[in-house]
Structure 1
């Protein structure tokens, strides 16, 4: 009894220390689970960097880049629309629509992989991934379903459940990669572990949704799904292309580096992304999920409050990310060599070059759905097109002139940073237009 009382006392102390703001509490819950999950990946990275070569990490980077680009359109962005309807029945039909689209897109992706996968991998110098190409549509299906279930859970503010699934995903990934690395040579263990991590969690969210929401889900109908597809047509028409271009802007550098500089350079770049870029992005996604849920309500009810939330979130993220970015900018190579082994010194140099870009990305990425929420998808699409053109131009130009990999990565980081700054101001301007005012950041901060 004393032990139970002691545990309850600790829980109560933690609850008292949580922020009073409901929005801030939700961010802490979701970001806390994500931080634990990413902390597990960080702890495992020094082990993995000694079990696998930079070339193996390069093959994994090709796989994850291809998956990340494709999975954005797994439901043609209908999952974002799950948050918008006020009527529960309409939201349930949007959810059903997104799941149906995932299955259809999986069939399409599987066919494309069967027909053209070998040719693509040969062009990317990732021949070692050929025996594992079948994993791509499997991961696509699992991750696509997870995204739809995730947004359904966000609608009902089940952030604690989402947080638990994120930790279980990382745990499954790390355990598989370490155990496989002890017995299997090559990139197989990294690939299988990545698949396990990405597809897990869907079952937990599905059971939770059915347990609590089956009275709503039973209202799903074929006519309702059709109406939802027509009502939110702007998401596949604009947001899916915008999301595809956004993911392409993030992932194409890995594919271009593989094609022009080989798997070893990509492996160094990939470990840096795994240790620094992915955790910052995942924490940013946690903030983004809470921000998206809150901003979708404010866009309907109080646009001026949305503008205030936009600036305040950006300000807090900047101060959170400032110190880690400075540390990486000063001592990135030395830290990587110390923690992961001397062979990974070059990976730290790449992170040092990208440290400023990571800070800007950490601030703006969680706010990037703002234009979709206020249904300015066309603006987002135009921005995505401009950014991806500049990214491809920078990397291809560097490779054409046979610039060293570090210079190519520096050009990439500069273009990314400028692109995120432009997106920030475009989002702020669009919210002000929605407000019907010309308020400045100073007025609403």
Structure 2
């Protein structure tokens, strides 16, 4: 694979391609979601949310985030070494997840433990292949993979839910169908991202490494060590925040409360997933080669545009959140709409922040972002716990919004005025980029 950056598509063109694919990918879940919600109980959704948050927490650290360095690799041999390293780390994570699943299940924190290694394997492999395709500027393939991943998940959940509803009484025990569907869809999405084939083919890359490949993997691991030492804990703690939030909800209010929380956040964050993923995947390579002045200008423009959309989204949820959820998902889900109203300010801020995670990666500010994220994650969990204690489920949601809006405001202000934008991405051993959304 050649790294022909001079022929790369424009930021606008790449963003539109990914945005169109993401819109189609989100269309099926949005259309089928009300039917899925009527086939599964809030308790089943709660069990699914418990599993999904634990699986995401493990999977996000599966490759130690080394795949995030793939778009920065200048030469093909560097990219191949990073790819080989990332996939081997995913394999190790799958092996480790088996005993971990048993321990978490015994502790009462993980339903359906036998499925955790499969979830880690499918999610970990997909996140590596997405960055592999990103480096090659295969934005159409990335868009198609998202359609398969999200649309396929919704179709499978609907089909399995219908079969269970027709044959046996559904309840919390039917959550396995909700859990299995996204894993199958992720496996199918991986098939769209197998190209470009690495030199020598996938079989050669995945077989026991030669001495030369081991040396190159070690060199890339040292060069991009900040992805493992800073970016991985950052991303891990971000998903751990979600897992702890769900654990608090289950302990305080039961599986149904986790189901309301999970459904509300899944739909409220769908716009951020759609727009944020498209913008960030196109923005990352653009920032990697931009001048400091151009980089600041692009980041401020992105924040302003996303802020306008976020304001409209927030107002709609504040005014009509409960009514919308009851109309769309049925009367049992009105409480999810009440949650949506309480979380609306937080969701609006998160919508703007989601695609900006790549900014601190491209600017070498991963250590600062990690420290800030720790503050935000602790604040989120503490606010939720105190809110649950003082006002139940809705009290926890309003407390989260009250704490997280000023937190994100500080984050936006600092990015807009960032003083040390690098003139070019690092191409020699030294600090590498890597961070996630605070």
Over 3 Å counting, the alpha-carbon distance change for 1:37 and 1:335 in structure 2 is same
Matched, 1:234 2:226: yes
Over 3 Å counting, the alpha-carbon distance change for 1:196 and 1:279 in structure 2 is farther
Q: Quick one: distance in 1 between partners of 2:179 and 2:400?
A: 26
Query: Which residue of 244, 264, 267 corresponds with 1:275?
Result: 267
Over 3 Å counting, the alpha-carbon distance change for 1:268 and 1:142 in structure 2 is same
Matched, 1:353 2:318: no
Partner of 2:426: none
Q: Quick one: distance in 2 between partners of 1:27 and 1:168?
A: 19
Over 3 Å counting, the alpha-carbon distance change for 1:286 and 1:259 in structure 2 is farther
Matched, 1:80 2:68: yes
Over 3 Å counting, the alpha-carbon distance change for 1:312 and 1:215 in structure 2 is farther
Matched, 1:257 2:249: yes
Partner of 1:318: 307
Q: Quick one: distance in 2 between partners of 1:145 and 1:113?
A: 19
> What's the offset of the Cα at 1:215?
6.3
Q: Is the 8 A contact 2:363 2:422 kept in 1?
A: no
> What's the offset of the Cα at 1:80?
0.9
Q: Is the 8 A contact 2:269 2:351 kept in 1?
A: no
Over 3 Å counting, the alpha-carbon distance change for 1:216 and 1:55 in structure 2 is closer
> Which one is further off, 54-63 or 284-293?
284-293
Query: Which residue of 122, 145, 151 corresponds with 1:171?
Result: 151
> What's the offset of the Cα at 1:168?
1.0
Query: Which residue of 104, 124, 139 corresponds with 2:92?
Result: 104
> What's the offset of the Cα at 1:279?
3.9
Partner of 1:427: 415
Cα shift readout 1:34-73 (whole Å, capped 9, x = no counterpart): 1111111010111011111111111111111112222211
Partner of 2:333: 344
Alignment of 1:32-431 (within 5 A): 32-114=20-102, 116-120=103-107, 122=108, 124=109, 129=111, 132-184=112-164, 185=170, 186-206=174-194, 208-210=195-197, 213-214=198-199, 221-298=213-290, 302-399=291-388, 401-430=389-418
Could you list the runs of 5+ residues in structure 1 that have no partner in the other structure? 1-20, 437-445
Query: Matched residue pairs, number?
Result: 400
Q: Is the 8 A contact 2:314 2:345 kept in 1?
A: yes
Cα shift readout 1:291-340 (whole Å, capped 9, x = no counterpart): 11221222xxx122111111111111122333232211110101111111
Q: Quick one: distance in 2 between partners of 1:375 and 1:216?
A: 33
> What's the offset of the Cα at 1:76?
0.7
Q: Is the 8 A contact 1:76 1:98 kept in 2?
A: yes
Q: Is the 8 A contact 2:70 2:79 kept in 1?
A: yes
Q: Quick one: distance in 2 between partners of 1:255 and 1:311?
A: 37
Give the ranges of 4+ consecutive aligned residues of structure 1 lying more than 4 Å apart after TM superposition.
215-220
Q: Is the 8 A contact 1:387 1:416 kept in 2?
A: yes
> What's the offset of the Cα at 1:259?
2.0
> What's the offset of the Cα at 1:341?
0.7
Query: Which residue of 5, 13, 33 corresponds with 1:25?
Result: 13
Q: Quick one: distance in 2 between partners of 1:428 and 1:228?
A: 31
Q: Quick one: distance in 2 between partners of 1:52 and 1:308?
A: 47
> What's the offset of the Cα at 1:402?
4.7
> What's the offset of the Cα at 1:250?
4.1
Larger relative helix fraction? 1
Q: Quick one: distance in 1 between partners of 2:142 and 2:371?
A: 32
Q: Quick one: distance in 2 between partners of 1:414 and 1:110?
A: 39
Backbone CA RMSD of aligned residues: 2.1
Q: Quick one: distance in 1 between partners of 2:52 and 2:188?
A: 16
Question: TM-score, length-normalised on structure 2?
Answer: 0.86
Question: TM-score, length-normalised on structure 1?
Answer: 0.85
Q: Quick one: distance in 2 between partners of 1:227 and 1:75?
A: 16
